[in-house]
Structure 1
């Protein structure tokens, strides 16, 4: 079996009632206006006949997915043709739709995050809205890079916060709690290499998608010493803005706080940052040394593990890493070459999607959030995110595996965790289960993740 390559994706945003284009992002070669008009027209025609057009596949293997938000904005995702996925059955369209629908949902939420829902729902001046939407471009482009496997984070797909496990978590957590309280807030987060190294309890109680998008926004804001950015929480506060204060502690280490009118950016930077973070600067350097591996030196992974994604289902946190191929060459000269680091990230995303649409459906709703049964908070039936393949089971699958032309994949689900693993083809299939259970034990025992 061959997991399909991810094709280029183009994102179109139009007004829902008149079809006026607001922006286009993604592929370098933009679609002609006539095609954009046709894509909008076929959706409007279906709506006029009482049919909701969600997605379709082209004769060349491309996909188109539509979604209308708040009867105001239409988002269309168009993916280029992909290499055929041999022997995979009828689930390909469901997997492609899963990622594309996730993209559209994230893009809408990031527009709300930056502009607020009122600005998007009550459009008074289309030209002004076009200008305002430019402030979302960097965040939207980051989401598109994730879909195309060009990011080393998974949160946009899993809706779990991407974490880095620090070497001294207690010390950093104490500094963060003190800094957040001094900033008159209960929502604070320490980010290292673009991942969450520590966060307050209230930060983790935000909606999972909000945690993911705030992390993505902080990554786009990195590079400056400090910034004060107004944000709307897509689920918690879509119409009332909060302030996101971000401070660079060291190159690659940033602290973020969600707060109200006070403190001022200058006061927080001059009085609070040094007081709380100077004493733990060595702990910060030690955490930076963890790097993209995201795991401290005390955690040892088996040499036959190419990539791993561990999700804590209760806290909606995740940790993921990919080993460099050069450190683990193909064990036999005649063996197929190991996939590159970039391809491993893409394969990890594809295997997660494969498993989520077949065996391990995601719980979209946090336990503390009360929603109408059968809906995921956006008015969309959660069953639409599951394949018929999943609904045909009378039990909950706990493990799955997949043998591809490039690697072997293994998925493991417990009451608290989901583990996704990539190994070389040389690993015997019967040994995958023991490799996965040993890896799960190593990750959870060392840090209690």
Structure 2
């Protein structure tokens, strides 16, 4: 079984801060951690930058941040993984640490032992990033936040705007099963990194009726803290706001019933869209098992591995997610340009708009049209020549349906 280590050490001194892991792997002994840091330091002392290396059964990637901390990713096993995937994990881990601890505190570590205790606040989110194949969403690899497409979203937007105004903040969103149903304009103005990390942060939370969490915005406000307040409206449905010092959690909690009681029936209807995640008004081909649809302009996506609500067991649905993840990673990182980020390079000599892969158990097809990217998992029964046409028709169905917006 493949395993993955994520190691954090201080720059220069190489003092270990934390090690997180996933998979059937043993705890790394201190001499191994020391050696991994030492080879990186050796290269730096000789004016060389060591980014990655590979052994017979492992791939290792290093990255230093702000001359303060070095993050090391070690992938063990025979599974396919590429350097850019591990580097993306390190970047997301650093951003997660900024989100929950603050950039200034990460730059200036005065007491390592205290820092090791305090940085534990980031462990649940980091562990969520490491559990890539187990996640019910794809946003950690696509760089786009996942949403639920619902015709009721427009009506719910009015309730959201009123509640956000009462919280005296422009930042708010409504979620169903951890996916965005609606958000304010300012929420959509957050960077792709911030949108994705906030959604993954929600997956790392333990269930509760409400919470008040201090956060930093890695791109918009990495040194000034804000408060993320979340409120459970019903099972699997929450409303979030990002506020300043006021109002208090208890004050806003008292307003929940006043603002949302009239929306209960509509919220229930939206909740029922899961796990399909898009309305019945959009019909898809019977050969489609799952898909990832991304709007690169808005960093918004919708995904599904149960398009017909077939009641498949969790093992089969997980297999579909893994197949889609593998296909996305193989064609996007190596052929079609890279993850959806503001920094993604557009300096290419030509653009690949279509790619497909055929397996014995399934088939996959990717198609890009303007800002839209669609990655489709098909059953093996579909004729290979038909996949492109079905992909284009599916994309058109989503884009042209005026009752939803992606």
Q: Please confirm whether the aligned pair reaches a TM-score higher than 0.5, indicating the same fold.
A: yes
**Tell me, what secondary structure is at the counterpart of 2:288?**
coil
TM-score with structure 1 setting the length: 0.85
1:21 to 3, 16, 25: 16
1:120 to 106, 121, 129: 106
From the superposition, tell whether residues 365 and 435 of structure 1 become closer, same or farther in structure 2 (CA, over 3 Å): closer
1:345 to 301, 318, 321: 321
Structure 2 CA distance, aligned partners of 1:399 and 1:17?
46
- Residues 297-306 or 227-236, more deviating: 297-306
- Aligned-pair distance for 1:198? 0.6
- Aligned-pair distance for 1:328? 9.7
What are the Cα deviations for residues 386-409 of structure 1, in whole angstroms up to 9, with x where unaligned?
9xxxx8x63211111112343211
Structure 1 CA distance, aligned partners of 2:94 and 2:251?
34
Structure 2 CA distance, aligned partners of 1:66 and 1:239?
25
Structure 2 CA distance, aligned partners of 1:428 and 1:325?
20
Partner in structure 2 of residue 247 of structure 1: 231
8 Å Cα contact 1:312/1:418 also seen in 2: yes
Alignment of 1:29-178 (within 5 A): 29-60=26-57, 62-83=58-79, 96-146=82-132, 149-178=133-162
- Identify unmatched segments of 5+ residues in structure 1: 1-5, 84-91, 330-338, 367-375, 377-381
Coordinate RMSD, CA, aligned: 2.1
- Aligned-pair distance for 1:324? 8.1
Structure 2 CA distance, aligned partners of 1:70 and 1:36?
20
Partner in structure 2 of residue 356 of structure 1: 332
- Residues 349-358 or 280-289, more deviating: 349-358
From the superposition, tell whether residues 288 and 326 of structure 1 become closer, same or farther in structure 2 (CA, over 3 Å): closer
**Tell me, what secondary structure is at the counterpart of 1:291?**
coil
From the superposition, tell whether residues 237 and 328 of structure 1 become closer, same or farther in structure 2 (CA, over 3 Å): closer
**Tell me, what secondary structure is at the counterpart of 1:340?**
helix
Count the aligned residue pairs: 400
Alignment of 1:291-330 (within 5 A): 291-323=274-306, 327=310
- Identify unmatched segments of 5+ residues in structure 2: none
8 Å Cα contact 1:167/1:283 also seen in 2: no
The answer to whether residue 185 in structure 2 is matched with residue 198 in structure 1 is: no
- Aligned-pair distance for 1:9? 1.0
Structure 1 CA distance, aligned partners of 2:163 and 2:287?
41
Partner in structure 2 of residue 233 of structure 1: 217
8 Å Cα contact 1:230/1:241 also seen in 2: yes
- Residues 161-170 or 241-250, more deviating: 161-170
- Aligned-pair distance for 1:286? 0.7
TM-score with structure 2 setting the length: 0.94
Q: Whose strand proportion is higher, 1 or 2?
A: 2
Runs of 4+ in 1 over 6 A off after TM superposition: none
8 Å Cα contact 1:190/1:254 also seen in 2: yes
**Tell me, what secondary structure is at the counterpart of 2:223?**
strand
Structure 2 CA distance, aligned partners of 1:439 and 1:278?
36
Partner in structure 2 of residue 335 of structure 1: none
- Aligned-pair distance for 1:221? 2.8
- Aligned-pair distance for 1:223? 1.2
**Tell me, what secondary structure is at the counterpart of 2:282?**
coil
From the superposition, tell whether residues 199 and 12 of structure 1 become closer, same or farther in structure 2 (CA, over 3 Å): same
- Aligned-pair distance for 1:326? 10
Partner in structure 2 of residue 372 of structure 1: none
Structure 2 CA distance, aligned partners of 1:199 and 1:221?
20
8 Å Cα contact 1:294/1:321 also seen in 2: yes
The answer to whether residue 207 in structure 2 is matched with residue 215 in structure 1 is: no
What are the Cα deviations for residues 137-196 of structure 1, in whole angstroms up to 9, with x where unaligned?
1111111112xx111111111111111112401111111111111110000011110111
Structure 2 CA distance, aligned partners of 1:11 and 1:427?
40
From the superposition, tell whether residues 306 and 296 of structure 1 become closer, same or farther in structure 2 (CA, over 3 Å): same
